[in-house]
């Protein structure tokens, strides 16, 4: 069994900023400041990337990237390493998928897949460097899709029942990469669900590699949790 020695870096895998995520309250700089104050070393911005974005901007990809670029500048200032992520949704249903190992070019390409759905996405992006993890697969209205790389087994959003225990059993049964995240939207909820690692990934691609390695622990509500799975 692993122990917590050496897992000294704290990383957030699931956080939203306003205005790109309409459901979030806090603009990019404020989110980074809160995470810096919480002692977090790496922060992933996973704004909603879905069909609802299209009527809100002439160039949806540029609009999407604006929040991240502002956050990255603030991260440089405050010493928080920023990672580009996304919470992707297609037209077919209300499922959400967290994606890591991406860049602005991926954001631009994926917009064309909104109408095509997850199966087509998985076919075309399977050999890509990106990693796709189903967010909170057992929240109301979600349909678990075991063909993804992983499942968010601890979604710490205080205003939703994500049925984390069931999600954890499900991830083990399908040998899915287990992920934890805060799903940060509102002040006071920052850093509730973190990942602990031995090294701090350089960028979003390195973050995807870390998740593939499965060499990390969770920090949930300030308590270390050691994930175990069948080898
Ligand atoms: Zn949201
Ligand atoms: Zn979210």
How far is the centre of ligand 1, averaged over its atoms, from the C-alpha of 25 (Å)? 10
How far is the centre of ligand 2, averaged over its atoms, from the C-alpha of 1 (Å)? 31
How far is the centre of ligand 2, averaged over its atoms, from the C-alpha of 17 (Å)? 10
Q: Over the range 108-145, which residues count as b (16 or more CB within 10 Å of their CB) and which as e?
A: eebbebbeeebeebeeebeeeebbbbbbbbbbeebebb
Longest dimension (CA), the chain: 52
3 state SS of 88: strand
CA–CA gap between residue 92 and residue 79 (Å, rounded): 39
Confidence (pTM): 0.96
How far is the centre of ligand 2, averaged over its atoms, from the C-alpha of 78 (Å)? 24
pLDDT tens string 127-149: 779 999 999 999 999 999 989 99
pLDDT tens string 160-214: 999 999 999 999 999 999 999 999 999 999 999 999 999 999 999 999 999 999 9
CA–CA gap between residue 219 and residue 172 (Å, rounded): 19
Compute the Cα dihedral for 207, 192, 65, 141 and give only its sign.
Answer: positive
pLDDT tens string 101-126: 999 999 999 999 999 999 999 999 98
The CA angle 72-63-98, to the nearest 5 degrees, is 70
Q: Give the Å distances, CA to CA, from 60 to 122, 127, 162.
A: 22, 25, 29
From its phi and psi, is residue 141 left (phi > 0), alpha (psi between -120 and 50) or beta? Answer: left
How far is the centre of ligand 1, averaged over its atoms, from the C-alpha of 140 (Å)? 14
How far is the centre of ligand 2, averaged over its atoms, from the C-alpha of 185 (Å)? 8
How far is the centre of ligand 1, averaged over its atoms, from the C-alpha of 17 (Å)? 9
Closest ligand by atom to 87 CA:
2
């Amino acid at each position: 069994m692993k122990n917590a020695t050496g897992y000294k870096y704290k990383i957030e895998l699931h956080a939203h900023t306003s205005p790109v995520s309409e459901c979030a309250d806090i603009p990019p700089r404020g989110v980074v400041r809160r995470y810096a104050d919480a002692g977090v070393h790496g922060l992933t911005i996973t704004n909603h990337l879905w069909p609802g974005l299209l009527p809100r901007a002439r160039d949806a990809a540029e609009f999407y990237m604006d929040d991240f670029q502002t956050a990255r500048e603030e991260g440089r200032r405050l010493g928080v390493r920023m990672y580009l992520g996304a919470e992707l949704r297609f037209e077919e249903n209300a499922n959400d998928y967290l994606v890591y190992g991406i860049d602005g070019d991926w954001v631009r390409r994926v917009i064309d897949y909104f109408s095509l759905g997850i199966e087509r996405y998985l076919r075309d992006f399977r050999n890509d460097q990106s990693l796709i993890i189903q967010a909170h697969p057992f929240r109301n209205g979600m349909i678990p899709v075991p063909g993804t790389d992983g499942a968010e087994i601890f979604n710490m959003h205080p205003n939703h029942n994500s049925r984390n225990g069931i999600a954890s059993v499900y991830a083990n049964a399908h040998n899915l990469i287990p992920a934890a995240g805060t799903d940060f939207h509102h002040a006071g909820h920052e850093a509730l669900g973190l990942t602990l690692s031995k090294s701090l990934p350089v960028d979003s691609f390195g973050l995807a590699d870390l998740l593939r390695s499965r060499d990390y622990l969770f920090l949930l509500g300030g308590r270390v949790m050691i994930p175990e799975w069948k080898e």
